[in-house]
């Protein structure tokens, strides 16, 4: 046996004892031979990559066919080894898997192309879900070795991983893969945010671990006393999941990190409920926090009992109670239990394998058939991947899973498209409710429909529906049935955008200009362009910008207007007596002022510009406004720094931090402690819980700036602070 394969075979023997090791070794030998002259970006032999992918899959417990396909997955694409040769050597099943992975790799990623790739992935999954599992393992190893790739490639692959591959791993129940993909991509995309969360976790870990140990000991003792055989352990905290919870729940780091999570593993389903009763008898449960995913599994076959109780010192403790089989499924998902004894549809290499109770995969197949626009498909997919479910009942007791926050309209479209289109009212648990009402777990929903032949959905429904299916069906209806309305809406939106900018409507909306633009954008005529704007496929502002560009652009602004384009318009007190600390070559008595658009300080390269009636304006040499001012070279003058004791300079800094209560108070207090005079401040918090603050203040000695930045960077949650120069 090849000694290189010993670690892989050791894992295979533990997870899949009946695997054909000779077949796997033969696949390795073929892959090693054909990749013999290839190297990875790291300089390692290329065969290390397929071997690492196969090892990841072996740890998940996959079968020997999947491991062979993992070892061979790059041979057809990257070497002279053909698919026909592979089929002759290893059979139809392995060839089908390798072909599926190869097809996914061939498509180049871009916005629309990315959606097409996901579609091909869906088709591949419908034939054999192992294709996607191999692809996820392939992406995981690539993310582990991403540091050898160029920066732009790292950014692109990491974003793709967060938006597509990690959520797909979640939907297939492969949580170990999902968590590692998320943390690797998070560290690559947002290294400073990642490092700040890692720092905050390490600072609080010792105190939290002591408390966790105390809770585990108490729960274990309670279960032993009740004669329930169980393993109790803490749940690992993943940096990206902490960050996501900060965004989703809009709470500070401490509130999430201090929430203790433990997992109880037992032998049987009966023990799960017995353990739950024992724990609730000893610890006070938090109302509304109990979820039974054993009786009602999630889309990805995940099963567990979830509850939250109040522990020592009044701290909330989250518990997951599950059997060991459920735990394997929760960690490894579809990789934990292959369903290959199910009915095969069709015959030959193109046969389709049913995916058991994984309704979500079948739903994806429906979407990709009914959604013509790749971008719309991808948007629906991302949205569906990012939310959890609620489970509701039809009047006959059938369970329907919907995204969290779903409404009766989502329910109507889940039942049938026509029920959705004709929906005019709903009754939830026997009571009439508005159509935008949110449904909760266990609700019984009854839909009232209109018998009118003209019945149809309302455009307002798009504002509150949560499911991709409902959104797609409503948009389709408007595309087919309401094109005239869309044309009028598009025309009005373009006119409104022009009026807002004070542009000449008649000149810009002339038939020739619009027709030329419509053809450039690949629309059949002007009406099709209007309809696209009305339906939201093209932004009205984008159309206006392209029209203006086509007709020569808006006339350039005056130099004084250019001077006024500053990030923050300061209205502080006039400082007529202050010394700007700048000398004009050949004329020391000229009035000099430091420009506020780039706030130059000693040490910066500077240029002077003679203004009309305002002396010489001093800019940093790389200020964006200098490019416009250079159009009048005879008014540029040479200037040099000459700061005095009474010189005062404006400095602008930007602070980026993970949002939390009292953050602004801490930053302003720190700046005050550094004895700087704040003239203006602006604060904005983005949807991803990042607070971006800009401060402009006066300083006498620019060298002091380093101390100020260091002090601000030491504030909890602040992961970046730097001087803003334009």
More confident residue, 604 or 377: 604
Mean pLDDT of 695-707: 79
Distance CA 226, CA 228 (A): 6
Residue from 78, 85, 255, 446 carrying the catalytic annotation: 78
Distance CA 143, CA 158 (A): 8
Which pLDDT belongs to residue 277?
Answer: 93
pLDDT, one tens digit per residue, over 263-312 is: 999 999 999 999 999 999 988 888 888 888 888 877 667 789 999 888 88
Which pLDDT belongs to residue 640?
Answer: 83
Judged against a pLDDT cut of 60, whether residue 315 lies above it is answered with yes
Backbone angles phi, psi at 108, to 5 degrees: -80, 140
Mean pLDDT of 581-588: 72
Whole-number percent of the chain with pLDDT over 90: 10
More confident residue, 400 or 653: 653
Distance CA 393, CA 441 (A): 9
Closest Cα to residue 267, out of 294, 296, 229, 303? 229
Confidence of residue 554 (pLDDT cuts 50, 70, 90): low
Which pLDDT belongs to residue 643?
Answer: 75
Residue from 77, 116, 488, 698 carrying the catalytic annotation: 77
Judged against a pLDDT cut of 90, whether residue 322 lies above it is answered with yes
pLDDT, one tens digit per residue, over 66-111 is: 889 889 888 888 888 888 888 888 888 888 888 877 766 654 444 5
Domain positions in the chain are 3-191, 477-547, 582-641, 649-723
User: What length does the chain have?
Assistant: 726
Which pLDDT belongs to residue 357?
Answer: 40
Which pLDDT belongs to residue 565?
Answer: 38
Which pLDDT belongs to residue 373?
Answer: 62
Which pLDDT belongs to residue 469?
Answer: 83
The order of strands in the sheet holding 616-620 is: 592-594, 616-620, 606-610, 636-637
Which pLDDT belongs to residue 361?
Answer: 59
Tokens standing for 246? Answer: 């900060």
DSSP state at residue 35: T
Closest Cα to residue 705, out of 605, 574, 603, 578? 603
Confidence of residue 352 (pLDDT cuts 50, 70, 90): very low
**Residues contacting residue 164 through CB under 8 Å, at least 6 positions apart:** 114, 118, 381, 382
Whether 78 is a known active-site residue: answer: yes
Residues 299 and 359 sit within 8 Å (Cβ to Cβ): yes
Which pLDDT belongs to residue 249?
Answer: 62
More confident residue, 182 or 347: 182
| Domain covering 3-191 assigned CATH 3.30.9.100 in the classification | no
Mean pLDDT of 132-157: 87
DSSP state at residue 538: S
Which pLDDT belongs to residue 346?
Answer: 36
Closest Cα to residue 428, out of 419, 417, 420, 439? 439
Confidence of residue 573 (pLDDT cuts 50, 70, 90): very low
Burial of 258 per CB tally in 10 Å (0-12, 13-18, 19+) = middle
Tokens standing for 267? Answer: 């032998």
- pLDDT averaged over every residue in the chain: 78
Question: Dihedral, CA atoms, 270, 276, 277, 281, nearest 10 degrees?
Answer: 160
Mean pLDDT of 339-352: 34
Distance CA 312, CA 260 (A): 11
CATH value of 649-723 in 3.30.1330.50, 3.40.50.720, 1.10.150.120, 3.30.70.260: 3.30.70.260
Judged against a pLDDT cut of 60, whether residue 261 lies above it is answered with yes
Which pLDDT belongs to residue 265?
Answer: 93
More confident residue, 596 or 273: 273
pLDDT, one tens digit per residue, over 14-46 is: 877 777 888 888 888 988 888 888 888 888 888
Confidence of residue 118 (pLDDT cuts 50, 70, 90): low
Whether 77 is a known active-site residue: answer: yes
Which pLDDT belongs to residue 447?
Answer: 92
pLDDT, one tens digit per residue, over 489-539 is: 888 888 888 777 766 655 566 566 777 788 777 787 788 888 888 877 788
């Amino acid at each position: 046996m090849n000694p290189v394969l010993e670690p892989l075979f050791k894992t295979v023997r533990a997870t899949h004892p009946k695997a054909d090791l000779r077949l796997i070794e033969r696949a390795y030998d073929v892959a090693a031979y054909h990749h013999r002259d290839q190297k990875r970006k790291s300089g390692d032999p290329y065969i290390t990559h397929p071997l690492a992918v196969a090892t990841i899959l072996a740890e998940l417990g996959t079968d020997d066919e999947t491991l062979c396909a993992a070892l061979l997955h790059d041979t057809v694409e990257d070497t002279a080894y053909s698919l026909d040769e592979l089929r002759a050597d290893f059979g139809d099943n392995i060839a089908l898997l390798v072909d599926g992975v190869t097809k996914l790799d061939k498509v180049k990623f871009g916005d629309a192309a990315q959606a097409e790739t996901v579609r091909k992935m869906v088709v591949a999954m419908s034939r054999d879900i192992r294709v996607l599992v191999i692809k996820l393992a392939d992406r995981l190893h690539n993310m582990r070795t991403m540091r050898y790739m160029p920066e732009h490639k790292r950014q692109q692959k990491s974003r793709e991983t967060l938006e597509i591959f990690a959520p797909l791993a979640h939907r297939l129940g492969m949580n170990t893969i999902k968590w590692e993909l998320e943390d690797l991509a998070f560290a690559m995309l947002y290294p400073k945010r990642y490092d700040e969360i890692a720092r905050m976790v390490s600072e609080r870990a010792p105190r939290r671990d002591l408390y966790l140990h105390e809770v585990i000991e108490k729960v274990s003792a309670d279960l032993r006393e009740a004669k329930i055989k169980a393993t109790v352990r803490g749940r690992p905290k993943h940096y990206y999941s902490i960050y996501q919870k900060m965004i989703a729940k809009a709470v500070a780091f401490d509130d999430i990190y201090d929430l203790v999570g433990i997992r109880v593993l037992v032998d049987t389903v009966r023990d799960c409920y017995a353990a739950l009763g024992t724990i609730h008898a000893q610890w006070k449960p938090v109302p509304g926090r109990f979820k039974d995913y054993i009786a009602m599994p999630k889309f990805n076959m995940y099963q567990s009992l979830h509850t939250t109780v109040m522990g020592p010192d009044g701290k909330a403790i989250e518990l997951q109670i599950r059997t060991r089989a459920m735990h394997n499924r929760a960690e490894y998902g579809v990789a934990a239990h292959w369903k290959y004894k199910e009915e095969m549809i069709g015959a030959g290499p193109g046969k389709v394998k049913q995916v058991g109770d994984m309704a979500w995969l079948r739903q994806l197949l429906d979407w990709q058939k009914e959604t013509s626009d790749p971008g719309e498909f991808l948007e629906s997919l991302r949205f569906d991947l990012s939310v959890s479910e609620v489970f509701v009942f039809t009047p006959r007791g059938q369970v329907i899973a919907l995204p969290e926050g779903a409404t009766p309209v989502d329910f109507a479209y889940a039942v049938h498209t026509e029920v959705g289109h004709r929906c005019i009212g709903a009754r939830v648990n026997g009571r009439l409710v508005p159509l935008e009402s949110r449904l909760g777990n266990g609700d019984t929903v009854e839909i009232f429909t209109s018998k009118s032949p003209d019945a149809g959905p309302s455009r307002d429904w798009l504002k509150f529906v949560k499911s991709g299916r409902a959104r797609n069906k409503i948009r389709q209806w408007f595309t087919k049935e309401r094109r005239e309305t869309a044309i009028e809406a598009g025309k009005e939106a373009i006119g409104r955008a022009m009026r807002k900018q004070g542009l000449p409507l008649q000149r810009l909306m002339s038939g020739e200009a619009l027709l030329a633009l419509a053809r450039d954008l690949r629309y059949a005529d002007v009406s099709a362009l209007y309809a696209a704007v009305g339906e939201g496929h093209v932004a009205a502002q984008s159309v206006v910008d392209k029209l203006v560009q086509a007709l020569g652009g808006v006339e350039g602004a005056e130099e004084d207007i250019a001077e006024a384009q500053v990030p923050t318009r300061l209205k502080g007190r006039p400082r007529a007596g202050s010394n700007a600390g700048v000398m004009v070559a050949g004329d020391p008595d000229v009035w000099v002022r430091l420009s506020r658009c780039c706030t130059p300080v000693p040490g910066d390269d500077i240029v002077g510009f003679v203004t009309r009636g305002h002396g010489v304006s001093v800019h940093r040499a790389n200020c964006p406004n200098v490019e416009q001012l250079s159009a009048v070279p005879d008014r540029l003058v040479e200037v040099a720094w000459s700061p005095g004791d009474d010189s005062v300079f404006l400095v602008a800094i930007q602070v980026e931090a993970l949002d939390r209560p009292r953050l602004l108070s801490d930053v302003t207090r720190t700046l005050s402690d550094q004895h700087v005079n704040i003239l203006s401040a602006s604060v904005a918090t983005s949807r991803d819980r990042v607070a971006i603050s800009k401060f402009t203040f006066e300083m006498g000695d620019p060298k002091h700036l380093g101390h100020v930045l260091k002090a601000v960077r030491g504030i909890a949650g602040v992961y970046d602070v730097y001087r803003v120069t334009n």
